[in-house]
Amino acid sequence: MNTRELTVSCSCGVAKHTFQVSSSSLPLPAHLCSCDISRRISGSLLTSYINITHPATSPSKPDTSRLTPYDSSGILRRWFCTTCGTHMYLEYHSDRHFEAATGTLQCEASDDIVEFKSCMWIGDTQDGGASKWVKVINGKQLEAWMENAGAQNKQKTLPSSSPHLVSKNAVHAHCHCKGVEFWISPPTPSSRLSRSPYPDLMIPHHLNKSANPDNMPWWLPGDGTRYLAGTCTCASCRRASGSDITFWAFVPTSNIFLDSVLSQPFPQDGKYWGAMRKYTSSIGVTRTFCSQCGANVFWHGDEGTFGRKDLVDVAVGLLDAPSGARAEEILAWWAGRVSFEENALHKGLASGLQGGLRE
């Protein structure tokens, strides 16, 4: 049998697994999941996995000794890296087979390895979530399922959030286990006091034009009543989360609170709270995740390296907004570019997302 050897790895490299699949089985099918559990446990609006334990080619299971287990439901156990937080595997209780997060694949491109078949569990999003933007990949229309992929739950029409519906209340954010939770207030005058150059989302990093000497508050687009949010396919975010796409909101720390009455501000001493654990993914970059369920929480670039001050990236999948997963009463989504689209692992997915956003 002709086989192909593939490897998956976490961001820090302590969790790595090599397996084989038959060449005839490629590309491996995967589905983009929008369910509440996946969003709260990853911080992403879309997660996806591929089966890596096939009796004929890869009977061995991955080593989980450097990983943290989390039983998110009675169906499966999730495994994430204890050191860097990368979501690595699903282990199903029924037959103990393992599936690996598609963002952990170690290769130059995964279009010939993974084929996304559908968006599923869209019903959990209330507003359609990111499935509204990913409808076609490599010229193929994706199926859309309200629940698990299957013939009995085709997508129904879901209401879209109104861009004119602006929140006057703080939005609760939390991971699946609620080991990390916080509240984001609507923008205030102090929101303009943060500092940051333009992100790759708006001006590609390779153009070397991201300077913002006048400190235009790009994180408060339009009339300044919502925060800018966007999508990223860079290698660092992908490897740290396990997701091909990460979804970030740019929020001043002055608008993040540790309690619902907004009396406990975001700590300014560099200390995090609850079950959060930090990981330095590169020079000047601190990422945080929940040490209990593994949820991606913050990306924080320090002032010395990035010129940022009092502004953090918040994983959008944690927001519990009344309107739905896209939280459009407090977030304004950038459609001009998928950040680091040129570095995407799955080019077709990134291109499909970009096209859907612009449409």
Three-class SS of the chain: CCEEEEEEECCCCCCEEEEEEEHHHCCEEEEEECCHHHHHHHCCCCECEEECCCCCCCCCCCCCCCEEEECCCCCEEEEEECCCCCEEEEEECCCCCEEEEHHHECCCCCCCCEEEEEEECHHHHCCCHHHHCCCEECCEECEEECCCCCCCCECCCCCCCCCCCCCCCCEEEECCCCCCEEEECCCCHHHHHCECCCCCCCCCHHHCCCCCCCCCCCCCCCCCCCEEEEEECCHHHHHHHCCCCEEEEEEEHHHEECCCCCCCECCCCCCCCCCEEEEEEECCEEEEEECCCCCEEEEEECHHHHCCECEEEEEHHHECCCCCCCCCCCEEECCCCCECHHHCCCHHHHHHHHHHHHC
What are φ and ψ of residue 57, in 5° steps? Answer: -115, -35
Domain holding 269: CATH number? Answer: 2.170.150.70
pLDDT of residue 151: 61
In a domain, 159, yes or no: no
Buried b (16+ CB within 10 A) or exposed e, 251-268: bbbbbbbeeeeeeeebee
Q: What's the pLDDT tens digit per position in 142-198?
A: 999 999 987 667 766 565 555 557 878 999 999 999 999 999 999 999 999 999 999
Measured in whole angstroms, the distance separating CA 262 from the mean position of its chain's CA atoms is 26
Check whether residue 233 and residue 346 sit in a common domain: yes
Is 215 contained in some domain? yes
Q: Is the same domain home to 193 and 134?
A: no
Q: Are residues 198 and 336 in the same domain?
A: yes
Same-domain pairing of 222 and 265 = yes
206 and 65 in one domain?
no
d(CA 34, CA 123): 8
pLDDT of residue 56: 75
209 plus 354 within the same structural domain: yes
Q: How many CB atoms lie within 10 A of CB 68?
A: 19
- Domain annotation covers residue 152: no
Note whether 340 and 216 are same-domain residues: yes
Query: What tens digit of pLDDT does each residue of 192-227 get?
Result: 999 999 999 999 999 999 999 999 999 999 999 999
Is 283 in the same domain as 205? yes
Phi and psi for 258 in degrees, rounded to 5?
A: -95, 0
Give me the pLDDT at residue 60, please: 86
CB atoms within 10 A of CB 279: 17
CB distance 272 to 288 below 8 Å? yes
Burial of 301 (0-12, 13-18, 19+ CB in 10 A): buried
- Domain identity same for 133 and 266: no
Q: How far apart are CA 5 and CA 27, in angstroms?
A: 13
90 falls within a domain: yes
Domain annotation covers residue 155: no
Is 252 within the bounds of a domain? yes
Q: Are residues 196 and 317 in the same domain?
A: yes
Number of domains in the chain: 2
pLDDT number for residue 197? 96
Q: Are residues 94 and 199 in the same domain?
A: no
Tokens, residue 306: 């990035």
Range of the domain at 353: 171-358
Per-residue pLDDT, 157: 59
First-to-last C-alpha distance (Å) of the chain? 44
In what order do the strands lie in the sheet containing 181-184? Answer: 171-174, 181-184, 256-257
Both tokens assigned to 147: 């629940």
**Low pLDDT (below 50) residues in the chain:** none
Query: In terms of domains, do 102 and 200 share one?
Result: no
Backbone angles phi, psi at 92, to 5 degrees: -80, 135
pLDDT, position 159: 54
d(CA 290, CA 128): 26
Q: What is the pLDDT of residue 155?
A: 63
**What are the two backbone dihedrals, phi and then psi, of residue 316, each rounded to the nearest 5 degrees?**
-65, -30
In a domain, 157, yes or no: no
Give the Cα separation of 47 and 245 in Å (integer): 8
**Joined tokens for residue 39:** 């969003």
Q: Tell me the C-alpha distance between 152 and 158, whole Å.
A: 17
